[in-house]
Amino acid sequence: MSLRIGITGVAGRMGRTLVQAVSADSRLALAAALERPESTLLGADAGELAGVGKQGVAVSGAVADVVGDIDVLVDFTLPAATLANVAACREAGRAIVIGTTGFTGAEEAGIREAAADIPVCKASNFSTGVNLCFKLLETAAATLGEESDIEIYEAHHRHKVDAPSGTALSMGQVVADTLGRDLNKVAVYGREGQTGARARDTIGFATVRAGDIVGDHTVTFAADGERVEITHKASSRMAFARGALRAAAWLSEREPGLYDMQDVLGLRT
């Protein structure tokens, strides 16, 4: 029996890509498609919106109306919408995959609370390659971090609303945790004017927003005489979509709890 997938934000770039990925996987079935309640696309066929032909799933504006028809909801939207979807999944006892970023501390705590009752997989990036980079960063930080200046560069399309990206922040957190540093105290998110000499324990972030860049991330470990760079470049959102659906299939067999892509890929140490 196919795993029944619900997708939020189906009219957006990531939503359409997720619908395309579901339609290409015989193990999955699109069971629900969601958009904002005020969207003019309500009632449209989700498959036709995504360019994969009629799927027989009309776009809905109310998660409560469709959550009973799914096994796992995949959510890449905005924090307020995601929190409402988490609440609906919790009420219905359904699992949820969360790719939304930009939550406050209190909102993160709310998601952790919901995960006591339902399986939740939340990650800043669902690309397999990016999650491998997280593991490589642990090794690099442990080997080079105390003798290197560490800088993180990220670039995304002009429409991305949060900065730095959730992936860049996750990369910084991996490095900081490995080195025993508090990222909130050592992160520098911009430099201008007479900044003075760079503090060795600083982790710097540089952000670019331009064109249709899907997602570039580079972490540089720069020491005297050499530097090591760990880079991931995404050329298509399909990498994120396939990873999210891999997480959905994995999550469907798990007990309630808060998981991430490291758990899905077996990279958790």
Active site residue 156: yes
| For residue 79, cis peptide bond before it (omega within 30 degrees of 0) | no
Query: 87 and 113 in contact (C-beta within 8 Å)?
Result: no
CB crowding 23-48: b at 16 or more within 10 Å, else e: bebeebbbbbbbbbeebebbebbbbe
Q: What one-letter code names the amino acid at 223?
A: A
Choose, from 160, 185, 217, 233, the residue flagged as catalytic.
Answer: 160
In this structure, which amino acid lies at residue 235? Answer: S
Catalytic one of 122, 156, 217, 232: 156
**pLDDT at residue 234, as a whole number:** 92
Structure tokens at 57: 């799933």
> 230 — phi, psi (to 5°)?
-110, 120
93 half-sphere exposure, CB direction, 13 A CA radius: 1
Helix intervals (H) in the chain = 13-23, 46-50, 63-66, 79-92, 105-114, 128-144, 166-179, 183-186, 238-251, 261-264
What are the domain boundaries of the chain?
A: 3-122+237-264, 128-234
Query: Which amino acid, one-letter code, is at 110?
Result: G
CATH T-level topology, domain 3-122+237-264: Rossmann fold (3.40.50)
Buried b / exposed e along 213-238 (16+ C-beta atoms within 10 A): bbbbbbbbbeeeeeeeebebebeebb
Superfamily for 128-234? Dihydrodipicolinate Reductase; domain 2 (3.30.360.10)
Separation CA 130–CA 261 (nearest Å): 10
Examine the residue annotation and report whether 122 is marked as an active-site residue of this protein.
Answer: no
Tell me the C-alpha distance between 162 and 174, whole Å: 20
CB count in 10 Å sphere of residue 192? 5
What is the pTM (predicted TM-score) of this model?
0.82
pLDDT in tens, the chain (269 residues): 799 999 999 999 999 999 999 999 999 999 999 999 999 999 999 999 999 999 999 999 999 999 999 999 999 999 999 999 999 999 999 999 999 988 999 999 999 999 999 999 999 889 999 999 999 999 999 999 999 999 999 999 999 988 999 899 999 999 999 999 999 999 999 899 999 999 999 999 999 999 999 999 999 999 999 999 999 999 999 999 999 999 999 999 999 999 999 999 998 76
